Structure 1
Amino acid sequence: MTSYEFRYVGASTLPSRLSDFDLAQYFQLTQADVAALKNEFRADRRAGAAVLLLFLRAAGRPLDQLATIPRVLLRYVGQALSVTTPTIASLRAIYKRSQTFYAHQLWTKEYLELKDVDQATSDQLAAYLQAQANEVVSVDELVTSAQQWLFERQLLIPSDRQIRDLARKCYESVEKNIYATIVSAISATALSHCRNIVYQTRQGDTITALEWLKAPPKRHSPGTFSETLDKIAFLKQLSVHEWPLDEIPLEKQRGYAQQIHARRPAKSKELKDSTVIIELVFFLRVTLFELSDSAVYQSGRRASDLVRHAYNKTQAKQARSSVTYRERLLSIKSLVQDTSVPAEDRLAQIGELLADIGDKPTSSHAAHVRETLTEDATRVRNLLHSLENLNLQGRANEDSLANLAKLQEFYVGKVTELPMDQAFATDKSWSDLVNDPDRKRAFQALEASTMMGLRKGLRRGSVWVAHSLSYRERDQMLIPPKIWELERDRHLSILGLPKDPDQFLEPLLRNIEAGLAAVAEAKEKGVVSIDADGTIHLPKLEALPDDVVPKRTLDLMFKEIGDVQLPDLMLEVDAHTNFSETLLGRRAKDEHELVALYAALIAHGTEIDAKSVAAMTPQLDPAHVSTAMRALEAPSRLRRANEQVVEFQMKQAIVGLWGGGKTASSDMMSIDVSKHLWNARVDPRRRSHAVGIYTHVLDQYGIIYDQPIVLNERQAGPAIAGTVHYNNSEERVRVSLLAVDTHGYTNPGMAIAKLSGFDLCPQLRNLAERKLFLPRKLVAPDALDLVVVREVSLTAIRKGWDELLRVVASIRSGRVSANVALQRFGSAAQGDPIHQAADYLGRLLRTLFLCDYFSNIEFRREIHTILNRGESVHLLQRAVYYGKVPPERGRRPDEMIAISGSHTLLTNLVLAWNTHKMQETVDRWRKTGRVIDDGWLRRMGPGHFAHVNFRGTFRFGVARYADMLLQRPTTSKPAKFA
């Protein structure tokens, strides 16, 4: 079941105002129910039994006898059973005799085939919670998991106290095991030393080491890089990198580490020793991992800065040399034309002008950049020195690591010139510079080539950092080879892929042949054209006669819906979805806690900071908002809340007219940030510093996945990661087609997407990329010769097939993210068998896609429609977050994820509220006889925001929805454990 279908599971009461939508979704009597009730009970007893039946089916436990039954539910039951019901009642009022009540309750339990929890199922539940406790970060989440587990197995849910006691027992048991693991892995002396030194004030500073470690990186600069390396050195002095704690799930470690982030150091000391040690150990370990990732990223960016500086310097030198070159030409021209001077003298003068021009052939621009880079020896050397603290490791044949080791020896011996009797293996492009007769320049060239080789090696995975998350050894990230040998068949069964590559390639090649014939036919009909340069041209898509947005009807609909304040919108959707319960891990204790949560969501998801949100929200203090903002950084909660809201939107009937949920688009929206943010990049369009939020938008308009990314990098990894995550749920309709722009695809990305179960469909920006790549032996129509490129090696695909499947299975099982996998096997990994297999297979898949895109106008129209819907949602996203991220925010990964998730949640709230109101308006119009065609509704989207006031004073009328959103005491006594 999806999380939205668990909405009432575990409840013991109902809200006093049950919505018509909830009534239709959760409390409907079937014909079999009506027949059974009429057959079993007399007319005056049926209403009570029906209420018991409906609630027990939706909640999995009996309704509180004293709770008021919603009027709308009573009215519905009366209409369905043709009986008279009171307007206001409770079970106590309906059932005067307790014996009758218990008899009816027993009948409903037997009718629904619900069973009591016996000792066997109690033990099974305990084992399940024991396993779940390794993943969750609070007892409240464990209680929710227990209720859902019982509900799915048609077991009567016991009282909250019984479930909470069992959940707390399992949680504490897992915590004890974790503590025992820590104590056995780390000596008591080392733990004591860590506690003492972390809480001490740093020498020459006013803050403790813990606060120093918690401080996020500052702007992108050598100073920030140095501070990151200092923190890594500090943690390694504590031997954090040697702690053998890999058996504990990383998300569990993150959860404990997050507790340290969310709490003041003085408060941590008040906890019991075991809890302090667990949180501190995992905080130090996770911090080391994150700092190592940050250091590698910053070193790569530092190397890019040096290359860019060399590039700019080369351009300036070439500009100056072109002026000098022209002046020399003019001088030579004047000498040639000066007949008053003897020819011999003129030749001598020309020779003097050309004396400083050597006999070396003209070099490429890239060669000049490399030569200029060697002149920047000081900064290159400093970067290499800083990498020593990372303890880089790599393959035995990794030249850059061997050269780094040699350079470190030279640095110790203060050698500044390369020995003549030693050979150094470098890339061919650097060999001339490293072999320069000037051995000092050769030394500098070796340093520069080593820096670039290490950068490339870290990206492709031939060089790694053991105490890292994203730059570990390949076999640590992928399914280990021995396990792959044992479990290959199971993984391939899940993926639906063959072990033999030819079983995949043969039907693919047949489809390509059919696609080529279709393109040739389209060329003959004039649908496509190929110019003399081998470029395919397509005519612009024209709007269909009935493909016009009914603007007047749309305006009338939203006029009737009316304006809404953001707080009212959030409260109403929360009442329908209970996303606040997901964010907190439980229902809010009181109105103040709920309002603080909403304010934190606004502070994260918009450009308004915590202080400003508090000023805009009466009776709220900035400290309360900041605390709630830290709570939103808990792993996965924002994502689950987003999924709940999208599921609510998809329950509306109108959504079925927009799409079937099998297609989606993904793209990035940039958010302006301070130029001092360490991972900020310049947006090439907006020309401002920004970070990216990459989102996946269904054809039904909901945002199903979001993640923060760095600008100016290929986005195939994020595109695949989001779709794989969404498709991992068996209850959902799987996305089978993902439309992206040019940045969202690569050839390896096309292959990994297809092997993961969906098609990546890029809208190519450059006409030159519209080439059809084929194997040499595949026959293609002569009319397509100018666009066919025969450079696909089927042998390379067969050779790397098994390892490519291993990569895809590792992504599918969650061992490695698609983002990291696409980096390791992207362009930096050229020559790797996995990269070659993925690249050639991706070229074949892109050819098949382009054949459909060129020859099938309806398919092309579908791709454009999906991408346009994504762009319409981007407009709404921009309205939600139209300003700049405050300078002090977005520096920690958890905070950036919270910003992305909160912004997506606010956007989804608007989309869901609009969709719900559009459905209500359509239903009301049709009931009154007003005609509105489904064809019109199909072209109306929910991405409107002019009627939503996102700013101003935030007044949350929680009292109206208190019985649905806040905790309520229960007086019912459900069945107990056996």
Structure 2
Amino acid sequence: MGDLEKVLGNRKAGVGEVRLSEKGELIIPPLSAEDVPAEAAALRDELSELLPLTPIASLLVELDRRTGFLDCLTHAGGKQSRTPELKRNLLAVLIANATNLGLVRMAEACGISYDILAWTQEWYIREETLAAANAAIVNYHHRLPMTQVFGGGTLSSSDGQRFPVQGKSITARVMKKYFAGQGLSTYTHVSDQHSTFGTKVIVVTRREAQYVLDEMMGNKTDLPITEHTTDTHGVTLVNFALFDLVGMQLSPRIQDLGKITLYRMDLQRDVGRLWPVAGPLLTQKIMELIEENWDDLLRLAASIKFGHATASLIVGKLSASSRQNTLAVALKEYGALRRTVYVARYLADETYRRKIARQLNKGESLHSLRRDLHYAHQGKIRERFLAGQTEQAWCLTVLTNSVVTWTSEYYGLAIAQMRAEGRAVDDELLAHISPAHSENVNYHGGGRSARRGAAGNSRRASGRSVMPRWSCQLRPRRKTARKSEIDRLVDLEMQVPSRRIWRPFFAGCGESAVLWVPEGTGEEAAGKAAAHSVGHVCTPLEKFEEQAAVGDALSPTRQEGCRGGLSRLVAVGPPDT
């Protein structure tokens, strides 16, 4: 209150500063946009150019060698011998769930039978095993030197992300503000190092404040979280009280902060004499229930901290309790007192306000990355039951943290190389760079990676595809399917008629791709097709060579399959990649 008294007592306060109006009302202007140096944006673009372009499967294989997170996915029946193909199957299931592709589409895309993928998911993919795998990735990310530039791991935030639901589900609800139909929400907890350490599927119409403390108490990572921030939806008086009782600080961003009631413990005249300017804002006096019920409040906090009761259950029950419940009233009064202390600090310290806003923005950037990864089927959740939805949400969290960890590690390697060459790179610039993006990750399959290599991408060390051998075998596109915009563009440039004899064109990406183009097509036009076309047929190169040897490569069946547009044959990289 002393710092707030100094701020409000400043007669020369500007338009953008916290001040009192002539009527004594509190005026809280919004924060101005944070100045991001132009050098930080240029450095981020330069780092992205230095990083390689990698398929999501190769990224996960590389990360598993460093963290061993796939070993956390154990068999539900106990210790079992792990076959050499098990990790391959686990990666396929993780990618299928995280990208929303589904096991059926993944079986068609990777050559692994649906039965094997379904068995793997049934016995190895569970909430507890996925949480353990995610903790292994977060702990490794926390130990990276580059990660310390983003933050110390002591601050976190939480927010809900809405996803539409396809079909009927017991957790889906109608909310016209976000969905045309029904949807659900995934509530995630994010650290100041851009890592996600908690995920929970909740009903979209239920208030998020019930679940804020759950993942804080269930944090199984090495992150030393001591302070947590959220938006208005995650704030209640009960949360303010419980956070303080368990030894943590709740620092939310509250909407219409100037309209909330502030509390005092002493008489109004005593408070006004101590703080002449800020004292009149404390309009309500708390009762004496806190001291009378202090032992019960400590027992309640201990029950939450040691896992005897979940925080969501206690917060939900006590927030809805009437004033006849003495313990609930005492807890809310203590929460009101802690909220008053928080508001005084929030209004007096602009740096504190900016720290909260910066952390919430980190959560939003991770939401954007999750949305990019969860692209198939228009991002609609198709699981009907809560268990399956929770497993899919955790698979998406594992992939999101994998991308963030891989990007952070390679950022660190690139920065180390720059500094070794004598270039000065300030840590203050690096603090403005976020690893929560997928510009250097191909999560759509081998086709786009091969096309990028064919186009002469400078980031690739070689033209060879880096997808593992099992990620092949896409179904041919049906004749009745509508052409994509890219197909129509390529057809227009090449002036492709509806019926032609097709010939194979090796697209210049080593032994990784064969592109089918009309007979008589020039090399330049075929090169453009290799850079822009969408792969429709994907078979190993050796199979293509066998077909060519028996004269079947340009059979009428093959020509008929290519009539709808361009078709590619992609041979994937060797197993050691």
Q: Would the TM-score normalized by the shorter structure come out above 0.5?
A: yes
Q: Does 1:682 align with 2:174?
A: yes
RMSD of aligned alpha carbons: 2.7
What are the equivalent positions in structure 2 for 1:786-825 lying under 5 Å apart? 787-793=281-287, 795-825=288-318
The separation in 1 between residues aligned to 2:6 and 2:123, in whole angstroms, is: 56
The separation in 2 between residues aligned to 1:519 and 1:713, in whole angstroms, is: 38
Structure number with larger C-alpha Rg: 1
Work out whether residues 175 and 205 of structure 2, in 8 Å CA contact, stay in contact via their aligned partners in 1: yes
What are the equivalent positions in structure 2 for 1:190-339 lying under 5 Å apart? none
Q: Please report how far the alpha carbon of residue 535 of structure 1 lies from its aligned counterpart in structure 2 after TM superposition.
A: 4.9
Work out whether residues 914 and 942 of structure 1, in 8 Å CA contact, stay in contact via their aligned partners in 2: yes
Match of 1:917 in 2: 410
The separation in 2 between residues aligned to 1:815 and 1:523, in whole angstroms, is: 52
The separation in 1 between residues aligned to 2:259 and 2:384, in whole angstroms, is: 36
Match of 1:304 in 2: none
Work out whether residues 574 and 580 of structure 1, in 8 Å CA contact, stay in contact via their aligned partners in 2: yes
Q: Does 1:609 align with 2:105?
A: no
Deviations 1:627-676 (A, max 9, x none): 22223443511111111101111221111111111111111111111362
Deviations 1:100-126 (A, max 9, x none): xxxxxxxxxxxxxxxxxxxxxxxxxxx
Match of 1:956 among 468, 476, 479: 468
Match of 1:565 in 2: 55
Match of 2:71 in 1: 581
Work out whether residues 163 and 381 of structure 2, in 8 Å CA contact, stay in contact via their aligned partners in 1: no
Match of 1:664 in 2: 156
Deviations 1:297-348 (A, max 9, x none): xxxxxxxxxxxxxxxxxxxxxxxxxxxxxxxxxxxxxxxxxxxxxxxxxxxx
The separation in 1 between residues aligned to 2:98 and 2:216, in whole angstroms, is: 23
The separation in 2 between residues aligned to 1:588 and 1:658, in whole angstroms, is: 40
Which consecutive unaligned segments of at least 5 residues does structure 2 have? 448-466, 471-572
Q: Please report how far the alpha carbon of residue 960 of structure 1 lies from its aligned counterpart in structure 2 after TM superposition.
A: 8.5
The separation in 1 between residues aligned to 2:334 and 2:7, in whole angstroms, is: 20
The separation in 2 between residues aligned to 1:770 and 1:614, in whole angstroms, is: 55
Work out whether residues 134 and 401 of structure 2, in 8 Å CA contact, stay in contact via their aligned partners in 1: yes
Q: Which amino acid aligns with 1:904?
A: T
SS at match of 1:636: helix
Match of 1:706 among 181, 196, 199: 199
Q: Please report how far the alpha carbon of residue 872 of structure 1 lies from its aligned counterpart in structure 2 after TM superposition.
A: 1.0
Work out whether residues 633 and 895 of structure 1, in 8 Å CA contact, stay in contact via their aligned partners in 2: no
Match of 1:598 in 2: 91
Q: Please report how far the alpha carbon of residue 868 of structure 1 lies from its aligned counterpart in structure 2 after TM superposition.
A: 0.9
Q: Does 1:540 align with 2:30?
A: yes
The separation in 2 between residues aligned to 1:587 and 1:518, in whole angstroms, is: 66
SS at match of 2:9: helix
The separation in 2 between residues aligned to 1:519 and 1:840, in whole angstroms, is: 27
Q: Which amino acid aligns with 2:263?
A: F
The separation in 2 between residues aligned to 1:683 and 1:880, in whole angstroms, is: 24
SS at match of 1:762: coil
Q: Which amino acid aligns with 2:149?
A: L
The separation in 1 between residues aligned to 2:322 and 2:443, in whole angstroms, is: 46
The separation in 2 between residues aligned to 1:539 and 1:887, in whole angstroms, is: 40
Work out whether residues 407 and 435 of structure 2, in 8 Å CA contact, stay in contact via their aligned partners in 1: yes
Match of 2:551 in 1: none
Work out whether residues 548 and 939 of structure 1, in 8 Å CA contact, stay in contact via their aligned partners in 2: no
Match of 1:627 in 2: 119
Match of 1:242 in 2: none
Match of 1:936 in 2: 429
Deviations 1:454-490 (A, max 9, x none): xxxxxxxxxxxxxxxxxxxxxxxxxxxxxxxxxxxxx
Q: Please report how far the alpha carbon of residue 820 of structure 1 lies from its aligned counterpart in structure 2 after TM superposition.
A: 0.8
The separation in 2 between residues aligned to 1:646 and 1:822, in whole angstroms, is: 28
Q: Please report how far the alpha carbon of residue 885 of structure 1 lies from its aligned counterpart in structure 2 after TM superposition.
A: 6.4
Match of 1:741 in 2: 231
Work out whether residues 161 and 185 of structure 2, in 8 Å CA contact, stay in contact via their aligned partners in 1: yes
Match of 1:646 in 2: 138
What are the equivalent positions in structure 2 for 1:17-36 lying under 5 Å apart? none
Q: Does 1:521 align with 2:12?
A: no
The separation in 1 between residues aligned to 2:30 and 2:129, in whole angstroms, is: 44
Q: Please report how far the alpha carbon of residue 531 of structure 1 lies from its aligned counterpart in structure 2 after TM superposition.
A: 4.1
Q: TM-score, normalised by structure 2?
A: 0.71
Match of 1:826 in 2: 319
The separation in 1 between residues aligned to 2:142 and 2:80, in whole angstroms, is: 24
Q: Which amino acid aligns with 2:43?
A: T
Q: Which moved further from structure 2: 743-752 or 550-559?
A: 550-559
The separation in 1 between residues aligned to 2:231 and 2:81, in whole angstroms, is: 42
Q: Does 1:889 align with 2:383?
A: yes
Work out whether residues 801 and 834 of structure 1, in 8 Å CA contact, stay in contact via their aligned partners in 2: no
Match of 2:452 in 1: none
The separation in 1 between residues aligned to 2:86 and 2:104, in whole angstroms, is: 17
Work out whether residues 195 and 401 of structure 2, in 8 Å CA contact, stay in contact via their aligned partners in 1: yes
The separation in 2 between residues aligned to 1:701 and 1:612, in whole angstroms, is: 31
Q: TM-score, normalised by structure 1?
A: 0.43
The separation in 2 between residues aligned to 1:615 and 1:935, in whole angstroms, is: 47
Q: Please report how far the alpha carbon of residue 767 of structure 1 lies from its aligned counterpart in structure 2 after TM superposition.
A: 4.3
Shift in CA distance, 765/851, structure 1 to aligned 2, threshold 3 Å? same
Q: Which amino acid aligns with 1:754?
A: D
Match of 2:518 in 1: none
- RCO higher in structure (CA 8 A, sep ≥6): 2
Name the structure with the higher helix share: 1
SS at match of 2:86: helix
Shift in CA distance, 756/962, structure 1 to aligned 2, threshold 3 Å? farther
Match of 2:277 among 759, 765, 783: 783
Match of 1:552 in 2: 42
Match of 1:105 in 2: none
Shift in CA distance, 712/773, structure 1 to aligned 2, threshold 3 Å? farther
Number of residue pairs aligned between Structure 1 and Structure 2: 445
Work out whether residues 742 and 763 of structure 1, in 8 Å CA contact, stay in contact via their aligned partners in 2: yes
SS at match of 1:584: coil
Shift in CA distance, 715/546, structure 1 to aligned 2, threshold 3 Å? closer
- Identical amino acids, percent of aligned pairs: 24
Q: Please report how far the alpha carbon of residue 749 of structure 1 lies from its aligned counterpart in structure 2 after TM superposition.
A: 0.8
Match of 1:970 in 2: none
Match of 1:695 in 2: 188
Which consecutive unaligned segments of at least 5 residues does structure 1 have? 1-512, 964-978
Shift in CA distance, 516/923, structure 1 to aligned 2, threshold 3 Å? closer
Match of 2:516 in 1: none
Q: Which amino acid aligns with 1:565?
A: P
Q: Which moved further from structure 2: 637-646 or 600-609?
A: 600-609
Q: Which amino acid aligns with 2:235?
A: Y
Shift in CA distance, 545/592, structure 1 to aligned 2, threshold 3 Å? closer
Name the structure with the higher strand share: 2
Q: Which amino acid aligns with 2:383?
A: R
SS at match of 2:198: strand
Match of 1:751 in 2: 241
Match of 1:208 in 2: none
Match of 1:879 in 2: 372
Shift in CA distance, 849/584, structure 1 to aligned 2, threshold 3 Å? same
Work out whether residues 171 and 202 of structure 2, in 8 Å CA contact, stay in contact via their aligned partners in 1: no
Work out whether residues 674 and 680 of structure 1, in 8 Å CA contact, stay in contact via their aligned partners in 2: no
Match of 2:393 in 1: 900
Work out whether residues 643 and 704 of structure 1, in 8 Å CA contact, stay in contact via their aligned partners in 2: yes
Q: Please report how far the alpha carbon of residue 777 of structure 1 lies from its aligned counterpart in structure 2 after TM superposition.
A: 2.3
Work out whether residues 165 and 382 of structure 2, in 8 Å CA contact, stay in contact via their aligned partners in 1: no
Work out whether residues 773 and 847 of structure 1, in 8 Å CA contact, stay in contact via their aligned partners in 2: yes
